[in-house]
Amino acid sequence: MRQHWEGRHFMTQHGRPIRRRPERGLTSAGAALAAIVAPVATVATVAVTAAAAVAASDMTRTPGTASHTQGTTSRTPGDRARARAARTLTVNDNGKLHLLHASGSVLSEEGPVSGTLLGTARVSLNVGEDVTATFTIHARGGGSIVGHGSAALHSAGRYSSFAGSLTVTGGTGRYAHAHGAGRLYGTLERRYDEVVFQTRGTLDY
Q: What is the pLDDT of residue 84?
A: 54
Span between the terminal Cα atoms of the chain, in Å: 116
d(CA 18, CA 11): 6
* Angle formed at CA 74 by CA 69 and CA 76, multiple of 5 degrees: 120
**Buried (b) or exposed (e) across 63-91, using 16+ Cβ within 10 A?**
eeeeeeeeeeeeeeeeeeeeeeeeeeeeb
Q: What is the pLDDT along the chain (205 residues), one digit of tens a residue?
A: 444 444 444 444 445 554 544 444 444 444 444 444 454 444 444 444 444 454 444 444 444 444 444 444 456 666 665 555 569 999 999 999 999 999 999 999 999 999 999 999 999 999 999 999 999 999 999 999 999 999 999 987 899 999 999 999 999 999 999 999 999 999 999 999 999 999 999 999 9
155-169 pLDDT, tens digit each = 878 999 999 999 999
d(CA 80, CA 86): 10
Q: What pTM value is reported for the model?
A: 0.59
Backbone angles phi, psi at 13, to 5 degrees: -65, -30
3-state secondary structure 33-90: HHHHHHHHHHHHHHHHHHHHHHHHHHHHCCHHHHHHHHHHHCCCHHHHHHHHHCCEEE
Residue 4: which residues within 8 A CB-CB, separation 6 or more? Answer: 11, 13
85-124 pLDDT, tens digit each = 569 999 999 999 999 999 999 999 999 999 999 999 999 9
